[in-house]
Structure 1
Amino acid sequence: MKILFLDQSGKPGGAELCLLDIAKAYRDRCLVCLFADGSFRAMLEEEQIPVKVLATSIDVQKDSSTLQGVYSIGRLIPVALEVARLSRQYDLIYANTQKALVVGALASVLSRRPLVFHLHDILSLEHFSRTNQRIAMTLANRFASVVIANSLASQSAFIAAGGQAKLTQVVYNGFNLDCYRDVASQSQPTRQALGFTDPDFVVGHFSRLAPWKGQHLLIAALTHCPESVSAILVGDALFGEGDYVTQLQQQVKDLNLEHRVRFIGFRSDVAALMAACDLVAHTSTAPEPFGRVIVEAMLCGTPVVAAAAGGAMELVADGVTGWLVAPGDPVKLATVIQQCDARPELVKEIAATARIQASQRFDLTAISRQIDRILIQVAG
């Protein structure tokens, strides 16, 4: 079975990291087409996965109007023609993002190859305009053989927006467990490199810096915590969100927290950084489709507090494998942080339970088999 993967981004977000893991199993019989160049291409090449950049200058916004949506589709037609030509050498087209769905649907019609759509988003008005929802629903319902949703929350939102339930199958993201086995041994050297000592309680936030990811909430929560509590923000702005980074830096300055908040930027040693933290905070203000950082922290043996919405609620059992707090509530977040600081033995027990459950639920080997069965059915 030969697969043509499509993805709109040249930068590695959650959807791209998931695609990277899936494509590894087909590296000798697939091609990944990207609609923009960037570090994600290098990551694919490092794994010896064939990749081709179909560069476009199209900037599709999540809040596009009907006119903008139609105009964007028109500009994608040349790309779709190229994808249709390429796809005749493959058994199916695998669209991994929204723009990839548009291109993949057009190419599927032209090349008569089946289309798989991997849904990594919650199709709600908090994330997408009505126009973009309508375009996604129309194309998925009409042209996709199957829609793989990355959580029950994503599946439910797809159906609520008008998607056909019979098309959907839920498959969680998979993780290579070997990448997280020995990270505990790196925790102390990493803490020292960051300038933290044993008494310090370090809360880590791992995400691109964007308003809906809620880094400002963690900063606000620190004002309700003892001086010994610090935070590291791992990530940076990706999609024209540089103003938010400036706002965060100003917030830190206004609250006199410069000595307690560190902007780390993008890092490749995420697992080591997570292991060096005493707690990982997920603070999204809108429902998260899945929440990769939550599972990664669990696999590292680091406890997690997450916003109680979307896919996060499928990953965390409150008080059993982590903690859930209402989105947008820095005071409740601070309460959990202080409880974790005060009760290290309980925290250790919860983190151990989370690690076992995450290893069982999100093993990449099992998830890859699940994906493969779906693709065989579609291609067959």
Structure 2
Amino acid sequence: MKILQVTAALEQGGVERGTVEMAAFIVSQGVESFVASQGGRLVAELESQGSSHFNLPLAQRNPVTLLLSALRLKKIILTENITLVHARSRAPAWAAYIACRLTGVPFVTTFHGTHRIQNCIKKSYNSVMTRGLRTIAISQFIKTHIMENYGISEQLIDIAPRGFDPQRISPDKVTADQLNLLKKQWQLDDGVPIIALPGRLTRWKGQTLFLDALAQIKELQWQALIIGGAGHKQAYLNELKEQAFSSGLSDRIVFTGDQANIVPFYALADIVVSASTEPEAFGRVAVEAQAMGKPIIASAHGGALETVRDGETGWLFKNNDAEDLADKLRLALATGTDLIRMGNVAQTFVENEYTVEKMCRAEWNCYQRVLTDING
């Protein structure tokens, strides 16, 4: 048995991380693992785990490039005697779909996001993610989206929620010295609750909403970390800093920039916030924060409705409602030592429901189901 995963690139992000995690699981099952992508920083990790990588221009949407990539994938499938192809993003999925049609090899996909549907052309482009023998949804929210927008039978959709790696994300992975160093580096005060908002700096991640909410609780003691890089959106970062200044919050808010290792920041926080104004397909922040024993405050839509138990492992607030977010922050800050108890409940919850092992096992079961249906 030989599995080929196809994705755009292996730089960073949830899709890329999931590809590498699944590749490691495939190898652990004694099966040969192959990945085709445009490459990136995760290739070294992928290959060190025992997978083979093929470098193709799969992040390119040009139809000619896609067709050439399809022909190269066809050659790989035939040369390596691939058993099943698993595509994880749209442009590469088209190349993989064509290659599978040419070779007769089974094709499955993972639907990672809602993929905006502005018109019929866009919907047709997105539809490749439902053209496999089975489609894997990363949450119940995404499963419902697929059924409602693409007319796919529920029986052809498997759910494989994303997961965290307990070997990487755990309170045990952070030392007191690391925390003290971070406090000194970012000039954080001892004894003052820390509220963290992780996520790349882009408007829909809700940094503006977060600052609006903080401005409503200025009378309380807190300090905040906005964790994430601006990339090419320097103007947005400047806008956020100006908003913090005009609200009189500049001395209480730290913009950390991009952080390669976010785990110590979770450990440093007392409360973690996910303020996305558009629904997250899954939302790793909510799960990772809980895995670190931290209560999460999240927008009440998308994947958070599944990963956060309102009032038990954290709180949900009305989407895009700064006043309700402020109310939930007041509640959390007033909870005091009970935050620790809530964090412990949260940690147990995600350890039981949302690990990488469970995610990979669900995708593996999809492979087995497809091959059993074909071979009888």
Fold-level similarity (TM above 0.5): yes
1:45-69: CA deviation from partner (whole Å, max 9, x where unpaired): 45454323213673x5xxxxxxxxx
Alpha-carbon separation, structure 2, partners of 1:56 and 1:119 = 17
Contact in 2 for aligned 1:207/1:235 (Cα 8 Å): yes
Task: Select which of 261, 270, 275 maps to 1:269.
Answer: 261
2:250 is aligned to: 258
Task: Select which of 144, 161, 178 maps to 2:132.
Answer: 144
Task: Select which of 118, 125, 141 maps to 1:153.
Answer: 141
Contact in 1 for aligned 2:110/2:136 (Cα 8 Å): yes
Alpha-carbon separation, structure 2, partners of 1:243 and 1:48 = 42
Alpha-carbon separation, structure 1, partners of 2:116 and 2:59 = 26
Map 1:172-191 to 2 at 5 A. Answer: 172-179=161-168, 180-183=170-173, 185-186=175-176, 188-189=179-180, 190-191=182-183
Contact in 2 for aligned 1:207/1:234 (Cα 8 Å): yes
Alpha-carbon separation, structure 1, partners of 2:51 and 2:5 = 11
Aligned residues: 362
2:76 is aligned to: 86
Residues 145 and 12 of structure 1, relative CA distance in 2, 3 Å threshold:
same
Alpha-carbon separation, structure 2, partners of 1:81 and 1:247 = 46
Map 1:314-325 to 2 at 5 A. Answer: 314-325=306-317
1:162-206: CA deviation from partner (whole Å, max 9, x where unpaired): 241232111111222232150464474243443212222211122
Residues 259 and 131 of structure 1, relative CA distance in 2, 3 Å threshold:
farther
TM-score by length of 1: 0.87
Q: Please state if 1:231 is matched with 2:224.
A: yes
1:346 is aligned to: 338
Alpha-carbon separation, structure 1, partners of 2:199 and 2:77 = 34
Alpha-carbon separation, structure 2, partners of 1:370 and 1:13 = 20
Contact in 1 for aligned 2:179/2:264 (Cα 8 Å): no
2:2 is aligned to: 2
Q: Please state if 1:336 is matched with 2:328.
A: yes
Map 1:1-380 to 2 at 5 A. Answer: 1-27=1-27, 29-35=32-38, 37-45=39-47, 47-55=49-57, 58=60, 72-88=62-78, 89=80, 90-125=82-117, 130-137=120-127, 139-141=128-130, 143-165=131-153, 166-179=155-168, 180-183=170-173, 185-186=175-176, 188-189=179-180, 190-226=182-218, 228-237=221-230, 241-380=233-372
Alpha-carbon separation, structure 2, partners of 1:26 and 1:57 = 24
Residues 158 and 241 of structure 1, relative CA distance in 2, 3 Å threshold:
farther
Residues 174 and 245 of structure 1, relative CA distance in 2, 3 Å threshold:
same
Stretch moving more, 176-185 or 195-204: 176-185
1:17-53: CA deviation from partner (whole Å, max 9, x where unpaired): 1222111122461121113x43233443454543232
Residue type at the aligned position of 2:25? A
Aligned partner of residue 26 in structure 1, secondary structure: helix
Residue type at the aligned position of 2:143? Q
Residues 76 and 360 of structure 1, relative CA distance in 2, 3 Å threshold:
same
Deviation of 1:134 (Å): 2.3
Residue type at the aligned position of 2:267? A
Residues 49 and 234 of structure 1, relative CA distance in 2, 3 Å threshold:
farther
In structure 2, the gaps of 5 or more residues are none
Alpha-carbon separation, structure 2, partners of 1:169 and 1:56 = 25
Contact in 2 for aligned 1:92/1:114 (Cα 8 Å): yes
Alpha-carbon separation, structure 1, partners of 2:54 and 2:74 = 14
Contact in 1 for aligned 2:110/2:137 (Cα 8 Å): yes
Aligned partner of residue 176 in structure 1, secondary structure: coil
What percent of counterpart residues are identical? Answer: 24
Superposed CA RMSD in Å reads 2.3
Aligned partner of residue 150 in structure 2, secondary structure: coil
1:305-357: CA deviation from partner (whole Å, max 9, x where unpaired): 00000111011111011100011112221221222222212322221111111
1:249-292: CA deviation from partner (whole Å, max 9, x where unpaired): 33233334332222222223212110110111001111110011
Residue type at the aligned position of 1:145? L
TM-score by length of 2: 0.88
Contact in 1 for aligned 2:198/2:226 (Cα 8 Å): yes
Deviation of 1:93 (Å): 0.9
Residues 324 and 302 of structure 1, relative CA distance in 2, 3 Å threshold:
same
Residue type at the aligned position of 2:307? L
Residues 216 and 49 of structure 1, relative CA distance in 2, 3 Å threshold:
farther
